A and B are shown apart, each in its own frame.
Chain A
Amino acid sequence: GENVEQHPSTLSVQEGDSAVIKCTYSDSASNYFPWYKQELGKRPQLIIDIRSNVGEKKDQRIAVTLNKTAKHFSLHITETQPEDSAVYFCAASSPFSSNTGKLIFGQGTTLQVKP
């Protein structure tokens, strides 16, 4: 079945530096790729998503890139701030596989931004 691998599992950066989290997916029919941020004690919340008909999407300090050929997508956070510290989850969804309607989540990345 569909599988999503996420790396790294933990990431520590200095405030102001950039952070990059990468995910690879196995189902070539996947066409929707959201990223969620989960702060300590809170629910996961969508921060950005991308569909397979575009290669990049930006929203202020965050961006997502998609490489359909290599079947991987990445989250980029620039000018990191302490409030970016959280667990980040990538996910993929395919309209045609047995996982129709389900988001397949990566394992999560714990990002720590040091002041």
Chain B
Amino acid sequence: EADIYQTPRYLVIGTGKKITLECSQTMGHDKMYWYQQDPGMELHLIHYSYGVNSTEKGDLSSESTVSRIRTEHFPLTLESARPSHTSQYLCASRAPGETQYFGPGTRLLVL
């Protein structure tokens, strides 16, 4: 089934750990996005990609990095997690001029 997947769904981790949030989509979309969102609050774009080997920083400064080696895969990495990184991270993908779909999100808690 065509969808967008995120793992893990929930993550509790200690300060200073390196983490990678996975995002995959099976719709063949070129455009993929990462948003940071506190519960019920604004969607903040932190990274986006227009295709393989294309990545850009979003509107909200983030200490995370992303990569896009395959069309369907857009992982986000935090080299050293801090309590300020506690939030929900939503991945999304979109075909040109078409609907943007969101993944189910990863809820991150950094202790």
B41, B50, B90, B103: which contacts A108 (Cβ < 8 A)?
B41
Interface size class of chain A, counting residues whose CB lies under 8 Å from the partner chain: 20 to 34
Measured between beta carbons, the chain B residues less than 8 angstroms from A43 are 90, 102-105
A44–B90 CB distance below 8 A: yes
- B residues contacting the other copy or chain, number (CB 8 A): 20
Q: Chain A 22-60 against B: per-residue CB contact (8 Å), 1 yes, 0 no?
A: 000000000010101010101111100100000000000
Measured between beta carbons, the chain B residues less than 8 angstroms from A103 are 94, 100
* Interface hub of A42, A46, A89, A101 (most chain B Cβ within 10 A): A101
B31, B96, B102: which contacts A45 (Cβ < 8 A)?
B102
**CA A36 – CA B42 in complex, angstroms?**
12
B61 to chain A, nearest CB (A): 15
A102–B33 CB distance below 8 A: yes
A78 interface residue (CB < 8 Å to B): no
B34 interface residue (CB < 8 Å to A): no
B43–A89 CB distance below 8 A: yes
* With A101-B31, A101-B50, A101-B94 as contacts: A46 and B104 at CB distance below 8 Å: no
Q: Name B21-67 residues within 8 Å CB distance of A.
A: 31, 33, 40-43, 45, 48, 50
Q: Return the chain A residue nearest B97 by Cβ.
A: A32
Measured between beta carbons, the chain A residues less than 8 angstroms from B90 are 43-44
A110 interface residue (CB < 8 Å to B): yes
B99 interface residue (CB < 8 Å to A): yes
Measured between beta carbons, the chain A residues less than 8 angstroms from B101 are 46
